[in-house]
Amino acid sequence: MAKYIIEKSGPLRGTVEISGAKNAVLPILAATLLTDEPCEIMDVPALSDVEVMVKLLESIGSRVSWDYRNKIITVESGKSLRNEAPRELVSLMRGSIFAMGPLLARTGRAKFPLPGGCAIGARPVDLHKKGFEALKAVVEMGDDYMEARARELIGGHVYLDFPSVGATENIMMAATLASGTTVIENAAEEPEITDLAVFLNKMGAKGKGAGSATIRVEGVESLHGTKHTVIPDRIETGSFMLAAAITRGDLLLTNVVPGHVSAVMSKLSECGVVFEENDEGLRVRADVNPLVATDIKTMPYPGFPTDLQSQFMSLLTVVRGHSTVTETIFEGRFKHIGELNRMGADIRIEDRKAEVEGGQPLRGARIRATDLRAGVALVLAALTAEGETEISDIHFVERGYEEFTQKMTKIGANIRRVED
């Protein structure tokens, strides 16, 4: 198992190129199952989660080639596909379930073990089931699997009790080959959903409304191959914004869409961070004003993203003032707090609220990443801590951040990746 060894680092300075979005590329790769023609996906990040999705597609019967140098994956899902996904792959990544909707639409049957991934709280598949049933599929739930069958998918109306990103995407994909029109209400509005919709429409789908609370998909008989470039990763963008902030640095982020991170920019501006947009990208300056605390509350997009809550909390531990962090999405997303407190932070938890007394000096410690985003939060805290910090279980970080140590080292972070 690998670990990070980190020592206190001065202000981070330089340029960071943001990679393609993990949360966009996974459903897009799954959507290639909807056609038997080749699809070419560009700006694909080299991540362990992407590797799992590639292996999953291959296990179903797709032919996949990955040009790592040019960040291009080509998928050809021929006319003969398997209906079931292997447990050993699905257990590694929750995003595996994205392949279920396309496989059901193409073959009339899909059986998947219940997926794994980061343990950050309940992420039930009930809404996926509800969506498939709205398309007139018969869905059977076992203790550890879900199976959907349909001689023909028929467009229907589904209201999501919660704007689930995964359920919205899975229903969208299944609906592309259904008879008639499907309407999804209270749909998730994340940019990754819009990116998936763009890809599907390039394939010949007829979808409207992605990025809003109501999505309409008019089914078509078949889809064709296409080429598509994945959007930049807004969570990586926000993470490097916070890296600049916590070290009082000055970073230029390239390949970004500022509109995708407007909620994070707003909160960082309240703390005193200055942003400058130019032709090169987005400049993040935390060396202009003294930084102070602010409150954050996670919400579905376009609200503050839960995937940046833990990283922002690391910043709040070291800036002046008291702050409250409210987590409304995942009940298990405070596991990093115990590790931060071991480093000297002063954070108290009450239900889904964390009270942070900022301005505490942090010290190096032996700690472990509890999930993907928490791992990066601990790295950010370690950059400001006196002494040496050792972070284990960094495989979580490598699920979602491409060339993380290289990017951090390039801008001045004192971080090493070592094998135990």
Give one word for 58, left, alpha or beta, with left for phi > 0 and alpha for psi -120 to 50.
alpha
- Annotated catalytic, 271? no
Task: List the end-to-end C-alpha distance of the chain, in Å, as a whole number.
Answer: 6
Among 414, 400, 420, CA closest to 52: 400
Structural Rg of the chain based on CA atoms: 21
Strand order in the sheet with 322-326: 296-297, 322-326, 353-357, 347-350
Question: Residue 16: phi, psi to the nearest 5?
Answer: -125, 125
**Catalytically annotated residue among 118, 120, 382, 385:** 118
- Edge-to-edge strand order for the sheet containing 138-141? 109-113, 145-149, 138-141
Sign of CA dihedral 64, 29, 114, 49: positive
Residue where the block lists tokens 């994205």: 98
DSSP strand pairing (206-208 vs 214-218):
antiparallel
Q: Is the separation of the CB atoms in 10 and 412 below 8 Å?
A: yes
Paired with 285 in beta bridges are 250, 274
Q: How far is residue 300 from each of residues 110, 165, 172, 328, 329, measured CA to CA in Å?
A: 29, 9, 18, 9, 8
Task: Enumerate the active-site residues.
Answer: 118
